[in-house]
Amino acid sequence: QVQLVESGGGLVQAGGSLRLSCAASGRTFSRYVMGWFRQAPGKEREFVAAITWSAGSTYVADSVKGRFTISRDNAKNTVYLQMNSLKPDDTAVYYCAAQTTYHSSWFEYDYWGQGTQVTVSS
């Protein structure tokens, strides 16, 4: 099993920056891809970004491309989401996810964290 714990959320003003962290434990050796999703009030869950654990290849949603950067630290078993130039529309609960079974997809995951709230004020 894989356990994921997100942290780093909070309240920021538009134009500000925030870095989210996702610490993984358990069967970390079986991870193929780590991803970030978000869900705003009254809306469906939305894909944000993903990274392969081995090579560090990334895929970022068009809505955040150029503003958000995903990265990982293998030694710390941690994935990060650096969020710059934040907008009020970025307000959501952000979830970390782990792909432990090969899906050949950036959008299918097997484990999820509890989420961390990000609020961007205008």
Residues 6+ apart with CB under 8 A from 92: 38, 39, 40, 43, 46, 118
Residue-wise pLDDT for 23-42, tens only, equals 999 876 667 899 999 999 99
Residue 73's H or E segment, with its range, is: strand 68-73
Coil, strand, or helix at residue 41?
coil
User: Phi and psi dihedrals of 51, rounded to 5?
Assistant: -145, 140
Residues 6+ apart with CB under 8 A from 111: 1, 2, 3, 4, 97, 98, 100
Average pLDDT rounded to a whole number, residues 70-95? 96
Mean pLDDT, the chain, as a whole number?
94
Residues 6+ apart with CB under 8 A from 10: 18, 117, 118, 119
Model confidence at 11, pLDDT cuts 50, 70, 90, reads very high
The single-letter DSSP state of residue 106 is S
